[in-house]
Amino acid sequence: MSSTSLREAAVPYAAWPRRIGRVLLHTKLYWGLIALYGIAVFVSPVSSRGVNIFLTTANQSDVLRQVSNNGIVAVGMTLVILIGGIDLSVGSVMALGSVVCAMLLTQTGWSAAAYLAIPLFGAFVLLMVGWIVPILVGARPGAKPGCWALGLLAAAGATWWTIGQLPGKFGVLGVLLVVPVVGLAVGALNGVIVARARLQPFIVTLAMMVGMLGTARLVAGPDTTVYPVYTGTNATPAFESLRLLIWHVLPVPGLFFLAAVVLFSLLLRRTTFGRYVYAIGGNEQATRFSGIGVDRVKIAVYGIAGALAALAGVLYVAQYRQGKPDAGVGIELDAIAAVVIGGTNLMGGKGSIIGTLVGVLIFGFLGNILQLRNIDSNTQLVLKGVIIIVAVMLQEGNLRLLRRA
Amino acid sequence: MADSPLLSMRGIGKSFGAVPVLRDVDLTLHAGEVLALMGENGAGKSTLMKILGAIYPDHDGQITINNQPVALESPRAAAEAGIAFIHQELNLVAGLTVAGNIFLGREPRRAGLFIDEARMGRDCAALLRRLGFRLDPGATVGSLRVGEQQLVEIAKALSLDARILIMDEPTSALSQTETEALFRVVRGLAEQGVAIIYITHRMEEVFRVADRVMVLRDGAAVGELAAAGAPRRELIRLMIGRDVADFFATHRRPAGELVMEVEDLWLEQPGRAIGRSRTLDGVSFSIRAGEILGIGGLLGSGRTELLETLFGAAEGRSGGRIRIDGKPVTIRSPAEAKRAGIALVSEDRRREGLVMLAGLDANVALPTQPALATAGVISRRRELDLAAGTIRRLGIRAAPVQSVATLSGGNQQKVVFGKWLPTEPRVLLLDEPTRGIDVGAKAEIYQLLAELAAAGLAVIMVSSELPELLSQCDRILVLREGRPTALLDRNEFSAERVLAFASPGYAAAGGSDEQYQPA
């Protein structure tokens, strides 16, 4: 103890730069974003009336709108990467979600989308009410038969309600509830294979990515040139609300993104589920050996990633007015990049949703300023690649290339 | 020539920042001598050896080899000076052969390009013969047992003409027989003139292999003794700086009610157990509250597998009947084991015990999460209270939020104990509970065991250290190749007996299996 105070007494000034350095190191993620933002303001074109275009409310809210799909997918990806996994199938799941959503919105009667979505939704409600919620609220296994009965009742109600929407077309609430469940099912299937068959998540989700792309095309129909198009008038007008700008500033997809950030941030930090996620990524074996149902947590995490991807599909339909099987091509890589830039360890166990938010925004602002400067899209890709490497090197806290091993 | 030391270290000191970890340590070593270096974790043994191995080139004091001052500036310079360091974790390439590992980076070549496998094999065989190691140069290192891998590491070091060999706890992963073999190798090398510094925690080993013992405490050399006849108590006193009168306290068995009954437990691991169908078979025993049951046996006898099967964590298919408090239970996963009141403190803290990235608080709270939360939302206050309570109860020297990676082995082990106690287990399974921890922490763990047993827990303990089994347990179940061979009561305990029942070929040599009667 005396040596500590001795050291502090001996070097009272040298400690300060060190302390500042440490604070800078801990907050480097935010400094990266702030630096990029500053540069963007500086290089932004200025309109003839002297307005900095990058800083206009319209542009800022447009960035939020543009990043929200990637952001929602990246939130789910953060969970998957935190448990030491990876999910390559989110792009295809988002595409499937967009197709199912557009079809439910625009087609009456039993379309392929309805055949896929309605049974899954019924099964989901049954499992939730009959099994998962009782576990979550800590009900003992003894209460099971009652829970299952309640679940069956709820599932019947849910199915009746969804089928009831078919003669007309699905409403906003309908697609917002049903489509994510389709994604949840696909994600949970990923999780079951990864957890139970102990296969590499990379391989499992790669296979799922290919398989779901095919499924999306099959659901969309044999004529691959005509995708279910949502024109803005051939469905419930309420769906337009997903395109709204609240108070002319906050785009609704951005609202979903921010809500997901807050929700899953709280989930990770404040709940037992969140603790298990970090513990599994930190040491899966030790977590299993602590008597924790590791497989269940994994299945839930992949399920969440799938549900969020499908939700992104719904928002995609609202923004681009169509659902198509190639809607989410490449989005898994953008999401992974954002997660990694956000400081989440690819080996799992370390990272945060807030980090991912910053990663997504770094990507968003970068793309935006390059677009404002009219830099061609191929150059943008090259720059994106460079940014990923540089950002991750900064995250690691060193520039090893410059140092000898 | 024996008069002038081969190695002499004078006034060695080392500080990290302003914290001194070594102060004015002198060490001399003669050719052909085995010097045991003892001390608690953090005493400075490893630091001293890392200075000698030039992993820390920056230090006070002087090092001379053959009376020549040497500046050891890099591990490479140390190797050139004839110093070889065999670390606790082996540095071998599992996919290469024995010869490939020994000659890694300096393979004999043909036409300057192609590895001359034939010559490498011949050279390697010659080296192994000279050292008296029975190893196949062409065997893949990954297929060897740990003890054999260690020999490869030693051969590799000596092939570089090492005159000074540093071995850091070489037996920590070895079975009894492998340890015996290693001792013979160490003595043989010493006879060939190699000087050996042998770091260890285990008292027995000092008496077996060393000529001289040097004890470090708090960064200073506190004593040097001839190994032969060094009093055990004196060594312990030197290491921990106080007299531990009742270090090997004997544990009295209070009569408690029957807690767990195991009947005919078996385990099948396809692809694991070679040459026999079942890794475990026909294991039956029962245990009462307050009892400590030891599991003896050689490495590979199924000791760890027995604990893992009881904990629902073993790979493969298993069966048998388990009753706890008279009620039959099925245990297919650690989660079910936890619910049934079984806890496991596993052998490998880093792999199975702790989440190294996380803090003490999160680790302690892991098995009891649901109890700390309301509808899934954690109460941070309850979590911190639990961590603080565990620290107090077990005397862990750490802060509640400290990362477990920064704790010493003994404190880490206490955290693993600490995370299970709040689950209020009925049966505590311990796999090598004192592996890799220092004497002081060991005594505390034994103390804790006695307390837990007194509080009515049934404890099942696996240990490869016979003195530990003999001193701590009420009964010992001996396993051989997955089959129980004896269930010894305290009055029948002896090291020879346990070893005899554990060793293959004992029955053939006239012993009988009648000793084993499942209670």
Angle between helices A90-106 and A112-127 (to 10 degrees): 110
CB-CB contact of A212 with A96 (8 Å)? yes
Pairwise CA distance, residues B452 & B110, whole Å? 65
- Whether residue B20 and residue A3 make contact (CB cut-off 8 A), yes or no, is yes
Residues 6+ apart with CB under 8 A from A260: A71, A72, A75, A308
Tell me what pLDDT residue A76 has: 95
Pairwise CA distance, residues A91 & A325, whole Å? 9
Pairwise CA distance, residues A236 & A205, whole Å? 34
Residues in A 124-153 with any Cβ partner in B closer than 8 A? 136-138
Cα B254 from chain centre: 30
CB-CB contact of B387 with B360 (8 Å)? yes
On whether any CB of chain B is under 8 Å from the CB of A282, the answer is: yes
Pairwise CA distance, residues A18 & A4, whole Å? 16
pLDDT in tens, B396-424: 888 888 888 888 788 888 999 999 999 89
**End-to-end Cα spacing for chain B:** 62
Q: CA dihedral in degrees (B427, B432, B435, B438; nearest 10)?
A: 50
Residue in B23, B344, B357 to test binding to A, most A beta-carbons within 10 Å: B357
Q: Percentage of residues in chain A with pLDDT exceeding 90?
A: 30
Q: How confident is the model at residue B158 (pLDDT cuts 50, 70, 90)?
A: confident
Closest approach of chain A CAs to the CA of B181, in angstroms?
Answer: 33
Q: How confident is the model at residue B509 (pLDDT cuts 50, 70, 90)?
A: very low
Q: Which of A90-104, B128-142, B266-280 has the highest mean pLDDT?
A: A90-104
Closest approach of chain B CAs to the CA of A274, in angstroms?
Answer: 9
On whether any CB of chain B is under 8 Å from the CB of A285, the answer is: yes
Tell me what pLDDT residue A122 has: 85
Q: How confident is the model at residue A297 (pLDDT cuts 50, 70, 90)?
A: very high
CB pairs A-B closer than 8 Å: 96
Instruction: Work out the burial of residue B20: count CB atoms within 10 Å of its CB; fewer than 13 is exposed, 13-18 middle, 19 or more buried.
Output: middle
Cα B12 from chain centre: 29
Element (H, E) at B35: strand B34-38
Residue B69: CB atoms within 10 A of its CB come to 10
Out of B311, B353, B355, the one facing A282 most closely (by C-beta) is: B355
The SS3 call for residue A79 is helix
**Residue recorded with tokens 């785009």:** A251
Q: Which residue has the higher pLDDT, A3 or A309?
A: A309
Tell me what pLDDT residue B273 has: 45
Mean pLDDT on A351-373:
90
Pairwise CA distance, residues B199 & B171, whole Å? 10
What is the pTM (predicted TM-score) of this model?
0.76
Residues listed for chain B: 519
Instruction: Work out the burial of residue B172: count CB atoms within 10 Å of its CB; fewer than 13 is exposed, 13-18 middle, 19 or more buried.
Output: middle
Q: How confident is the model at residue B1 (pLDDT cuts 50, 70, 90)?
A: very low
On whether any CB of chain B is under 8 Å from the CB of A346, the answer is: no
On whether any CB of chain B is under 8 Å from the CB of A262, the answer is: no
Closest approach of chain B CAs to the CA of A383, in angstroms?
Answer: 33
pLDDT in tens, B275-298: 456 888 899 999 999 899 999 887
Tell me what pLDDT residue A320 has: 84
Instruction: Kindly calculate the radius of gyration of chain A based on its CA atoms and give it in whole angstroms.
Output: 23
**Residue recorded with tokens 């969440």:** A304
- Whether residue A292 and residue B334 make contact (CB cut-off 8 A), yes or no, is yes
Residue in B355, B384, B415 to test binding to A, most A beta-carbons within 10 Å: B355
CATH number of A51-107+169-389: 1.10.3470
CA within 13 Å, CB half, A160 = 6
Out of A6, A7, A271, the one facing B373 most closely (by C-beta) is: A271
Chain B residue numbers with beta carbons less than 8 Å from the beta carbon of A264 are none
Mean pLDDT on A103-131:
83
Query: Over 80: is that where the pLDDT of B239 sits?
Result: no
Closest approach of chain B CAs to the CA of A184, in angstroms?
Answer: 21
Tell me what pLDDT residue A26 has: 66
Closest CA to A235 of A103, A110, A95: A103
Three-state helix/strand/coil letters over B398-434: CCCCCEHHHCCHHHHHHHHHHHHHHHCCCEEEEECCC
Residue in B332, B339, B366, B428 to test binding to A, most A beta-carbons within 10 Å: B366
Instruction: Kindly calculate the radius of gyration of chain B based on its CA atoms and give it in whole angstroms.
Output: 25
Query: Over 80: is that where the pLDDT of B231 sits?
Result: no
Chain B residue numbers with beta carbons less than 8 Å from the beta carbon of A288 are 313, 333-334
Mean pLDDT on A113-126:
85
Three-state helix/strand/coil letters over A338-382: HHHHCCCCCCCCCCCHHHHHHHHHHHHHHHHHHHHCCCCHHHHHH
Cα dihedral across residues A288, A291, A297, A299: positive or negative: positive
CB-CB contact of A164 with A158 (8 Å)? no
Q: Which two tokens stand for residue B396?
A: 């862990």
Out of B18, B335, B375, the one facing A292 most closely (by C-beta) is: B335
pLDDT in tens, B169-178: 887 667 777 7
Find residue B140's DSSP bridge partners.
Answer: B97
Query: Over 90: is that where the pLDDT of B5 sits?
Result: no
Q: How confident is the model at residue A11 (pLDDT cuts 50, 70, 90)?
A: very low
Cβ density class B377-387: b for 16+ within 10 Å, e for less: ebeeeebbebb
Pairwise CA distance, residues B451 & B284, whole Å? 26
- Whether residue B365 and residue A275 make contact (CB cut-off 8 A), yes or no, is yes
Pairwise CA distance, residues B25 & B9, whole Å? 8
Quote the mean pLDDT of chain A.
83
Report domain extents, chain A. Answer: 51-107+169-389
- Whether residue A3 and residue B19 make contact (CB cut-off 8 A), yes or no, is yes
- Whether residue A291 and residue B338 make contact (CB cut-off 8 A), yes or no, is yes
Mean pLDDT on A378-385:
87
Residue B504: CB atoms within 10 A of its CB come to 11
Mean pLDDT on B477-483:
88
Pairing of strands B427-431, B342-345: parallel
Lowest-pLDDT range, A85-99, A227-241, B146-160, B403-417?
Answer: A227-241
Q: Percentage of residues in chain B with pLDDT exceeding 70?
A: 90
Query: Over 50: is that where the pLDDT of A9 sits?
Result: no
Tell me what pLDDT residue A139 has: 56
Number of helices (H), then strands (E), belonging to chain A: the values are: 17, 2
Chain B residue numbers with beta carbons less than 8 Å from the beta carbon of A132 are none
- Whether residue B378 and residue A292 make contact (CB cut-off 8 A), yes or no, is no
Out of B335, B351, B353, the one facing A293 most closely (by C-beta) is: B335
Out of A138, A281, A289, the one facing B346 most closely (by C-beta) is: A289
CB-CB contact of B251 with B468 (8 Å)? no
ipTM over 0.85: no
Closest CA to A354 of A27, A112, A99: A27
Pairwise CA distance, residues A283 & B415, whole Å? 15
Q: How confident is the model at residue A311 (pLDDT cuts 50, 70, 90)?
A: very high
Tell me what pLDDT residue A212 has: 92
Tell me what pLDDT residue B513 has: 45
Pairwise CA distance, residues B135 & B128, whole Å? 7
- Whether residue B375 and residue A275 make contact (CB cut-off 8 A), yes or no, is no
On whether any CB of chain B is under 8 Å from the CB of A225, the answer is: no
pLDDT in tens, B108-126: 777 777 888 888 888 899 8
Angle between helices A172-196 and A201-220 (to 10 degrees): 140
CB-CB contact of A79 with A311 (8 Å)? no
Q: Which two tokens stand for residue A41?
A: 């303001």
Cβ density class B426-446: b for 16+ within 10 Å, e for less: bbbbbbbbbbbbbbbbbbbbb
Out of A4, A6, A291, the one facing B334 most closely (by C-beta) is: A291
Q: How confident is the model at residue B274 (pLDDT cuts 50, 70, 90)?
A: very low
Tell me what pLDDT residue A256 has: 94
One-letter amino acid for residue A352 of the chain: S
Beta strands, E only, B433-499 = 458-462, 475-480, 483-489
Cβ density class A12-29: b for 16+ within 10 Å, e for less: eeeeeeeeeeeeeeeebb
Mean pLDDT on B349-360:
87
pLDDT in tens, A237-276: 777 777 777 887 888 899 999 999 999 999 998 888 888 9
- Whether residue B367 and residue A282 make contact (CB cut-off 8 A), yes or no, is no
Closest alpha carbon within chain B to A276: B366
Pairwise CA distance, residues B42 & A134, whole Å? 49
Closest alpha carbon within chain B to A278: B358
Mean pLDDT on A325-346:
88
Tell me what pLDDT residue A8 has: 38
Q: Which of A138-142, B69-73, B323-327 has the highest mean pLDDT?
A: B323-327
On whether any CB of chain B is under 8 Å from the CB of A283, the answer is: yes
Tell me what pLDDT residue A15 has: 59
Tell me what pLDDT residue B140 has: 86
